[in-house]
Amino acid sequence: MFGKKNKKQEVQVDDRLRHIAFIMDGNGRWAQKRGMPREFGHSHGGDTFKKIGRYCQKIGIKYMTVYAFSTENWKRPQKEIDTLMKLLDDYIEDAFREMYEDNVRVKFVGNLSVFPESVREKMAKIEKETEQKPFTLNIAINYGGREEIVHACNKLIKEGKESITEEDVSASIYTAGQPDPDLIVRTGGDIRTSNFLLWQSAYAEYYFTKTLWPDFSERDVDAAVAEFYSRKRRYGGV
Ligand code: FPP
């Protein structure tokens, strides 16, 4: 079974669960169920993201990745894109700084070249300021797994490589230097990967729940963690 239990907190993970990733799905449906615009769901989803980030850190997770905006999300209505970008900008200005106090190392993963220079500078500044912190939080933004692999290969070509190894690709993807996710949680009921962490997820355990992201709670993390520890990871062996 997983980790130690004590009175103050329910679970503590160990080295088998260093990295957890979330596909934070269901914000739009959560809002629509309440007769509210989809943007309302994203705003509540942002609060859930902060709560779950704090909790993962508390139970001993070392790396957390969230899918905040995919390369396909640009197909959404402009108003919704604007809300998500505004939310990101607010987080860059404010919440990620609060997290700094909380020992969070912030890293933006994805093709950042589409963002205005001013935004990219702010992202780079936060990354630099937090780089020594022990809990890594990857914000996947304008992220696509295929784009990431192609980007890594092009980088290796530019470096003059004529043939490449798995290690080369691992060292050239956006999460280079980090352990692959052990557990990937998707909320919102759909059972698919949606181009998330394609390279890194080769041996990840998946946990799918119908719970919509804004309703996702610390107890839901406990359930996902318990499920993770009940599985036997064989990595292709027996
Ligand atoms: C998917 O739900 C969610 C997103 C595309 C955005 C996720 C962003 C947040 C939770 C805000 C957190 C912000 C930062 C900066 C980390 P959906 O809109 O596809 O929901 P639906 O499937 O119900 O339509």
Q: Residue 204 Cα, ligand 1 centroid: separation in angstroms?
A: 22
Of 25, 180, 182, 220, which is the active-site residue?
25
**In-domain check, residue 45:** yes
5-36 pLDDT, tens per residue? 545 556 899 999 999 999 999 999 999 999 99
Q: Look up 73 and say whether it is catalytic.
A: yes
Q: How many domains does the chain have?
A: 1
Residue pLDDT, tens place only, 212-237: 999 999 999 999 999 999 998 788 88
Q: Is 154 among the domain residues?
A: yes
CA nearest ligand 1 atom 12, residue: 46
Alpha carbons 238 and 38: distance in angstroms, whole number: 46
**Which range is least confidently modeled, 49-63, 114-128, 169-183?**
114-128
Residue 17, domain member (yes or no): no
> In the prediction, which pLDDT does 2 show?
46
Tokens 């799918």 -> residue: 208
Query: Is 198 within a domain?
Result: yes
Residue 206 covered by a domain: yes
Question: Does residue 71 sit within a domain?
Answer: yes
Question: Comparing 234 with 204, which gets the higher pLDDT?
Answer: 204
In this prediction, residue 202 carries a pLDDT of 97
- How many CA atoms does the CB half-sphere of 80 hold within 13 Å? 17
User: Where is pLDDT greater, at 211 or 100?
Assistant: 211
- Which residues are registered as beta bridge partners of 126? none
Q: Is 195 noted as a catalytic residue in this protein? A: no
Mean pLDDT of 58-70: 95
Position 15 scores a pLDDT of: 96
Per-residue pLDDT band at 87 (split at 50, 70, 90):
confident
The residue nearest atom 10 of ligand 1, judged by CA position, is 45
Does residue 164 sit within a domain?
Answer: yes
pLDDT at 1 over 50: no
What predicted TM-score, i.e. pTM, was given to this entire model? 0.93
Sheet with strand 205-208: strands edge to edge: 104-109, 135-143, 63-70, 19-23, 183-186, 205-208
Residue 205 pLDDT > 60, yes or no? yes
Q: Which domain holds residue 197?
A: 24-230
Tens digit of each residue's pLDDT (9 = 90 or more) over 141-157: 999 999 999 999 999 99
Mean local confidence (pLDDT), 152-176: 97
Average the pLDDT over 37-57 and give the result: 94
Closest C-alpha to 25, from 67, 71, 74: 67
Whole-number pLDDT of residue 119:
87
Residue 5 placed within a domain:
no
Q: What is the pLDDT of residues 88-137, one digit of tens each?
A: 888 877 766 666 667 899 999 999 999 989 889 989 998 998 899 999 99
Q: What is the pLDDT of residue 233?
A: 76
Which single residue is written with the structure tokens 């209505």?
A: 77
State the DSSP code for 130: H
Write the single-letter amino acid at 113. S
CATH number at residue 165: 3.40.1180.10
d(C-alpha 143, C-alpha 196), whole Å: 8
To test the ligand 1 pocket, which listed residue (25, 36, 98, 186) has its Cβ within 8 A of the most ligand atoms? 25
Ligand 1 site, CB within 6 A: 24-29, 38, 42, 45-46, 49, 66, 68, 73, 84, 87-88, 91, 139, 188, 213
DSSP secondary structure code for residue 6 in this structure: -
